[in-house]
Structure 1
Amino acid sequence: MSVDFSENQWRTIEALSDAYIPAIELLQVDSLLQDVTPELRSVVAQKTTRDNRGFRQNVSTALSQASESNTRLFKLVIAILSRRTLAVPITHSFKLLSEMSIDERTHFIMSLRDAKIAPLRSLYRALLDLSMIAFFYSDEKLLEGLGYKFDRANAARFAEQPFWEVPIEAAPKDQSTWRIETDVVVIGSGSTGGVIANRLAKEGFRVLILEKGDQIRPSDLGKSDLVTDSRIYELSNKMMSTDKSINIVAGSTVGGGAAINWSCSLRLPFAVRRQWAADGVPWATSTLFDDAQDYVWKKMGTTYDYGEHSFTNQLILDGSKKLGYPAAPTGQNTGAHIPNTVFQGYGYRYGEKGGVVNWLYEAVQNGAKVIDRCQVVRIRHNRGKASGVEAVVNDGTKLVVNAKRVVSCCGSLQTPILLKRSGFKNKKIGDGLKLHPVTCVYGDFDEVVNKESDTIMTSVCVEDDNLDGEFHGPRIEAIHHLLPLTLKFLPWYNGESYRKICARYKHLSALLILTRDKGAGKVIYNKNDPMTPTIEYTPSKFDLDALRKGALTGANLLYIQGARRIYMPHYSIPMFESDKPASERRLADADYQAWYANAETVDFEIFKVGTGSAHQMASCRMSNKGPQFAPVDERGRLYECPNVHVVDTSVFPSASGVNPMISCMSVAQVLGGFLVEELRKEENRARL
């Protein structure tokens, strides 16, 4: 969709962004950035959108990557705000935003932020996110001043290492329709697609893997993360729920989630396994699943022997030990290698991360074929039996695949709409979506805490993970310190304070608060946009309260470990500041207790607190209780069409409560075993 703006509209956008992130006096950052050159300090403090050529380009790029409906809505809002007569009911001023003083624009932004009407708060959040991304990425000097070095991180480390690629099948040039015969067609090459394709290929079956994303190559790594986002994430990493209350990150590349995850490896808690068994998956508590988890763990080289923790990961462990909170290191699927590069989240393909190499690449070595940039249009089926799929390859070639079995490994967002556009009718398809909502709490430390060589997520605190007796509640982990992730959940008190906080990027320890959601949403199929999932999800009050509880516990960890300043993700909770040495701190300290007591009284509400999701589950649940309860049986077969199998996180009966990589791969290993059994039985019957 075109994102052209008139000059007047550009001035409106720039006026808003300059109020969100205004220039501040150089003296205000001198003490904050003592290790930065005077030239860079000046850029960090005083650069504005109006003297920044890259800002407009970044805005255009971001909007072109967003969904058409969101871009259209944004353009409409800017058009209204750029017309004096139309803007008055919103701004309550006869001045255009571009004519207002910085104080007047700040007052307008605060009116959006504090509005009782959710859509206005949504507008506040959208403008803040766009301003942050477009502004900070618009100038190399600005990024350098903040200490952000994505482009240069680890370049020397990997210069001599071999880079593996999955061989991709090329469409025949002389055919308008490409026809392929295979035993099993696997739709999706991610965590589960790789596992089941590997298992089937090892058993000697013909396997074809179709992936709608493309493959990241060496030349794609080391570029700006904004550029890479557009290549490997759903909707260029601009996906969100229909009410805009939660941003959603999902992989869309060869390797899928296995290529972009942060290597954190955790087994499915047995309490959750018991719930799954009660919901109609009896093997969830069996040795069959134990063996699958053991196999996956070993296959990926998962280990606890990966060197030192980052500052934030060590803080979680040390702070938890002081306070008596249960915490532990997490496994990493990197073998003997250190999981410490920004490339982890961008198609990390050097053979050090087992999520892709040990499954997908090995499947290809065993005979599986892969076609990338291939969008499956529908599963062909008649009278309860599937015969294959129809797809379109990126160059426009129509692909027809005839297969004995169809396996959907598209993930919890794509599998439901694939089934719906293929004509399957079960009303439970798309229901029950779980997202593991997240937010962050921040500590500002005197020392530099964000280093490009850091491990990412190697520890977890579970002090609050069972708030209701049913194991719904938050965990505390470290977030990947990519700039947009680190700054995403910061509170916006006002523009001046926001810029000063952002200037401390290198010193911000960000604790990720991830909760096992009790609430649920839906994935909706939209006939007018059949290839894009419509996600109806709003974090429930219970889950928002859980995030608040987790953030407060995270604040305790930050305080006891000596953070000079603590920022909660809600702007109504003021910054806490103390220069007391960590060795002298106690949670009972009067100043901290007063701040904590006030923070406890502030409700977390959508848009007032930023929330996100990188885990999508349970939108096409499996159960042996029948099609009235779930669309898929306990062996992964679609009730409506038993030779269509669903093998991804969508079949989870509920949220895993932990980073789901080990869980979904183990589920795929079990369901893959069932599929092999059925194919062998078919072969035996054919011989009779």
Structure 2
Amino acid sequence: MSPVKSAPRPTLNEDQIKVVVAIVDTFIPELSGQELDDFVRKNSNGTNDEALRAFGKSGIVNQNVADVIVEKIHTLPPEKIDELGMVFKVLSTKVGTLALGGVYGDFPSLSREQRTQIVRGWSTSMIGKLRIFSRAMFSLAAMSFYSQPIEAVHRAIGYPGPDPEMHSERFSAKAFPSYEFIEVPQQGLELTCDVVIVGSGAGGGVMAAELTKAGKKVIVIEKGHHYHQSELSLVQTDGFTKLYENGVLVSSKDGALTVLAGSTWGGGTTVNWCASLQAQDFDFGIGLFLQKKLTSFGSSLYFQLPYYVREEWAKMGLPHFTSSNYQKSIDTISERLGISDQYLKHNIPNDLLLEGCRKLGYPTKNIPQNTGHQEHSCGWCGLGCRFGEKQGTMMTFLDDARQRGARFLQDTFVERVLVQKGKAVGVVGYQNGHKVTVKAAKVVVSAGSIHSPALLTRSGLKNKHIGKHLYLHPVCYVFGKFEQEINCYQGSIMTALSTVAENTDGHGYGSKIEVPSHHPALCATVSKWDSASSHKSKMLAMNHILPLIVLTRDREGGTITAGADGLPRIDYTVSKHDTLSLEEGVDRALQILVAAGATSVWTVQRDVEDFDVNKELGTSDPAFKAYLDKVRRVSVKPGSTVIGSAHQMGTCRMGSSPKTSVVKPTGETWEVKGLYVADASTFPTASGVNPMLTTYSMAHSIAQFILNSEISSKL
């Protein structure tokens, strides 16, 4: 049996489900009576009353979203279901609700006003677990509700739904690769090849292309499913469910940090936002102290010194990363994917980021895109690229491997690597419960930083660094509201960044400031909640909101461990060191928004209110400076500040010794011959930039090591 099916999963009983429904209904209910009238009156412009009323009356229960939420809870790890189930059980009793909420009566029977009082109290509780529980339940409610294609919601907030261009000539003009997949019969299947590769993302795709080019017989196994571009609906809930790990419902053990990870044919490259930055150098000031001194004299001058991430890795016993051969790997990948910043067309949000930085004298950079040397305006790319312009592995390296005879399995979970006498000889996996064994001379694990260490652990490897050194580039949001429409889901995604805060500690660790693609589900989830009507009012302004993300290069890592079912668990807490990086980035991002012309700004900190900008004074306003002081003083606390991640690195670290790493400088594991790891899990430290290009080039290098070792062995 596959470990996914080896143990019965707990389920919530009827009383517990009633509590779940009551909680999420508290966050996003159907407004009625005087509350609905007040909502319409407050937000009316004289012409949209009908749309406002329909939106106000739309809630989780009457839109049948509660069932979706219960189903999502049932997909969580068993221990998390048990943990939440215990809270729901307590709240199903009068005494339990009194203990956790201060009101006598089982939670579902309370009035919405009483329930609102309770969940609001949880969000500001001195008890961290209650804050995290409140935030997690709200996130689940908001993500589930606003990702649905609810016409009343879309009409009120002005969201067009799926990309209006999705059926245009732009889509039909592109021919997409056609893949055939091996189906495993009920009685099972045994296959043989030279190299079996687990994973089809940036690591697995490049490995397949390079090894087939050298004449190797290759089989690529992917646990996700292949969706042809014509099958991509660009509906939020559909994209999240089909293309992301556990339907985007992945978090750290304590629930304080949410993780987005691709899980489909092409892995993360299918949902990536095209950002293709080299992990090379950080341009930073002589020191934060000197920067502040210069600023105090009214200077916007920044003294630039190089800090090399690749040099840092070389000093860890990996000289390849400062070699010309590694740069050749980067150049080869860049050429195949058509990576360039020459065809960028900044959308309104990225233009505003650049304008705010220009006014403040902050340094900026364009972000190269993997778009085949062409302009790519696709704000829905996180839900899959119907246009075939984004050059993920599905469009490039996997297709190269396909044309050279590679074979593929989808929907196939690899349970373990087969090891005989200290050598890898294949893998065992399951497709729809049917066993498949692939015998191979070499095994390449490219399952990503979450799943690769779990697979090594299930396969019996004992290296103490497996699963350690997990880096996530923790992200915080800040927001600015503008008089003009921003429409942060239109145009090219993430084409510019500011490096002003990237060296907070003077050693290359800090934050980059970028613009995300923002659709209703994400906007709703990262917004603060104080009451049902106030949150809906905030959503009405979505098209006028510019979000900036503060992406931190984390120095302190977390861990991946395998649960009782053999599946990975994320244990990660933002360290004090990395919290300082987030704080600095949030401070700078708020200043950028004000300089760019925002009328109000706010953070995702629960205990910090919105700030109304004095346009005449801007960033020099003493009240704004006091606001920034409060933002830093409150800082980021688990459960009261939304922290997320879309990058996963480390966990199978590359190094020069088994005492400090999992794999050799060649990518081969120290413990098992012929077993290689080739994905972002091999990063020695966090890259500090979107890890896609570095993952591609890492895998390309490891492929050359494999081929060169075979040549050497024959001499």
Give your verdict on TM over 0.5.
yes
Correspondent of 1:659 among 663, 684, 690? 690
Correspondent of 1:216 among 214, 217, 227? 227
User: 1:243 aligned to 2:254?
Assistant: yes
User: 1:578 aligned to 2:613?
Assistant: yes
* 1:393 alignment counterpart: 431
Counterparts in 2 of 1:150 and 1:380: CA distance versus 1, 3 Å: same
Correspondent of 2:125 among 80, 98, 115? 115
* 2:626 alignment counterpart: 594
* 1:553 alignment counterpart: 588
Counterparts in 2 of 1:336 and 1:21: CA distance versus 1, 3 Å: farther
Partners of 1:502 and 1:375 in 2: how far apart? 39
For 1:522, give the aligned amino acid. Answer: T
Please say if residues 168 and 372 of structure 1, whose CA atoms lie closer than 8 Å, have aligned partners that are also in contact.
Answer: no
Partners of 1:36 and 1:223 in 2: how far apart? 29
Counterparts in 2 of 1:15 and 1:195: CA distance versus 1, 3 Å: closer
* 1:650 alignment counterpart: 681
List per-residue Cα deviations over 1:600-654 (Å, max 9, x = no partner).
3212111110111111111111111x11111111111111113111111111000
- Provide the identity percentage: 29
SS in 2 for 1:446: coil
Q: Mean Cα displacement is larger for which, 184-193 or 104-113?
A: 104-113
List per-residue Cα deviations over 1:76-127 (Å, max 9, x = no partner).
3223212213322112221343454444333312321122222111111112
Counterparts in 2 of 1:292 and 1:105: CA distance versus 1, 3 Å: same
User: 1:631 aligned to 2:675?
Assistant: no
User: 1:90 aligned to 2:100?
Assistant: yes
Partners of 1:193 and 1:203 in 2: how far apart? 15
Counterparts in 2 of 1:627 and 1:401: CA distance versus 1, 3 Å: same
Correspondent of 1:497 among 531, 534, 540? 534
Q: Mean Cα displacement is larger for which, 55-64 or 458-467?
A: 55-64
Partners of 1:269 and 1:457 in 2: how far apart? 19
Q: Mean Cα displacement is larger for which, 31-40 or 345-354?
A: 31-40
After TM superposition, give the deviation of residue 161 of structure 1 in Å: 3.3
Correspondent of 2:442 among 392, 402, 405? 405
User: 1:17 aligned to 2:29?
Assistant: no
User: 1:274 aligned to 2:311?
Assistant: yes
Please say if residues 123 and 606 of structure 2, whose CA atoms lie closer than 8 Å, have aligned partners that are also in contact.
Answer: no
List per-residue Cα deviations over 1:414-460 (Å, max 9, x = no partner).
11111111111111111111111011000111222115432111111
* 1:169 alignment counterpart: 181
SS in 2 for 1:243: coil
For 2:262, give the aligned amino acid. Answer: G
* 1:515 alignment counterpart: 552
Counterparts in 2 of 1:238 and 1:297: CA distance versus 1, 3 Å: same
Counterparts in 2 of 1:541 and 1:489: CA distance versus 1, 3 Å: farther
For 1:252, give the aligned amino acid. Answer: S
Partners of 2:276 and 2:457 in 1: how far apart? 32
Within-5 A mapping of 1:279-678: 279-348=316-385, 350-356=387-393, 357-394=395-432, 396-450=433-487, 452-526=489-563, 528-530=564-566, 532-578=567-613, 580=615, 584-624=616-656, 626-678=657-709
Partners of 2:505 and 2:16 in 1: how far apart? 53
After TM superposition, give the deviation of residue 74 of structure 1 in Å: 3.0
Please say if residues 171 and 387 of structure 2, whose CA atoms lie closer than 8 Å, have aligned partners that are also in contact.
Answer: no
List per-residue Cα deviations over 1:197-220 (Å, max 9, x = no partner).
111111111111111111012453
For 1:535, give the aligned amino acid. Answer: I
SS in 1 for 2:619: coil
Please say if residues 438 and 611 of structure 1, whose CA atoms lie closer than 8 Å, have aligned partners that are also in contact.
Answer: yes
Counterparts in 2 of 1:540 and 1:153: CA distance versus 1, 3 Å: farther
After TM superposition, give the deviation of residue 571 of structure 1 in Å: 1.9
After TM superposition, give the deviation of residue 156 of structure 1 in Å: 2.8
SS in 2 for 1:406: strand
Counterparts in 2 of 1:560 and 1:598: CA distance versus 1, 3 Å: same
Counterparts in 2 of 1:34 and 1:298: CA distance versus 1, 3 Å: farther
Partners of 2:558 and 2:501 in 1: how far apart? 23
Please say if residues 154 and 453 of structure 1, whose CA atoms lie closer than 8 Å, have aligned partners that are also in contact.
Answer: no
SS in 1 for 2:86: helix
Counterparts in 2 of 1:29 and 1:518: CA distance versus 1, 3 Å: farther
For 1:170, give the aligned amino acid. Answer: I
Partners of 1:211 and 1:145 in 2: how far apart? 40
Counterparts in 2 of 1:159 and 1:112: CA distance versus 1, 3 Å: same
Partners of 1:354 and 1:26 in 2: how far apart? 49
Within-5 A mapping of 1:90-239: 90-137=100-147, 139-157=150-168, 158-162=170-174, 164-171=176-183, 173=185, 176-218=187-229, 220-239=231-250
Counterparts in 2 of 1:2 and 1:383: CA distance versus 1, 3 Å: closer
List per-residue Cα deviations over 1:307-362 (Å, max 9, x = no partner).
42122211111111111111111011112443332441233254311122121111
After TM superposition, give the deviation of residue 137 of structure 1 in Å: 4.4
SS in 2 for 1:131: helix
Partners of 2:452 and 2:140 in 1: how far apart? 30
Partners of 2:265 and 2:44 in 1: how far apart? 41
Please say if residues 621 and 631 of structure 1, whose CA atoms lie closer than 8 Å, have aligned partners that are also in contact.
Answer: yes
SS in 2 for 1:247: strand
User: CA RMSD of the aligned region, Å?
Assistant: 2.3
Structure 1 unaligned segments of length 5 or more: list them.
none
Partners of 2:709 and 2:23 in 1: how far apart? 63
After TM superposition, give the deviation of residue 404 of structure 1 in Å: 1.4
After TM superposition, give the deviation of residue 30 of structure 1 in Å: 5.5
Structure 2 unaligned segments of length 5 or more: list them.
1-8, 282-307
List per-residue Cα deviations over 1:26-50 (Å, max 9, x = no partner).
5555665649732211123343445
List per-residue Cα deviations over 1:342-387 (Å, max 9, x = no partner).
4412332543111221211111112211111111121111222111
Please say if residues 379 and 492 of structure 2, whose CA atoms lie closer than 8 Å, have aligned partners that are also in contact.
Answer: no
Please say if residues 263 and 339 of structure 1, whose CA atoms lie closer than 8 Å, have aligned partners that are also in contact.
Answer: no
SS in 2 for 1:361: helix
Q: Mean Cα displacement is larger for which, 10-19 or 569-578?
A: 10-19
Counterparts in 2 of 1:360 and 1:374: CA distance versus 1, 3 Å: same
After TM superposition, give the deviation of residue 22 of structure 1 in Å: 7.3
For 2:621, give the aligned amino acid. Answer: D
* 2:303 alignment counterpart: none
Partners of 1:634 and 1:166 in 2: how far apart? 35
Counterparts in 2 of 1:285 and 1:410: CA distance versus 1, 3 Å: same
SS in 2 for 1:264: coil
SS in 1 for 2:449: coil
List per-residue Cα deviations over 1:273-331 (Å, max 9, x = no partner).
11111112111111112221122112111122334212221111111111111111101
Which portions of structure 1, spanning 4 or more consecutive aligned residues, are displaced by more than 6 angstroms?
A: none
SS in 1 for 2:64: helix
Please say if residues 654 and 665 of structure 2, whose CA atoms lie closer than 8 Å, have aligned partners that are also in contact.
Answer: yes
Partners of 1:661 and 1:413 in 2: how far apart? 15
For 1:634, give the aligned amino acid. Answer: P
Partners of 1:8 and 1:544 in 2: how far apart? 36
Partners of 1:547 and 1:198 in 2: how far apart? 38
Partners of 1:36 and 1:255 in 2: how far apart? 46
Partners of 1:524 and 1:12 in 2: how far apart? 28
Please say if residues 229 and 384 of structure 2, whose CA atoms lie closer than 8 Å, have aligned partners that are also in contact.
Answer: no
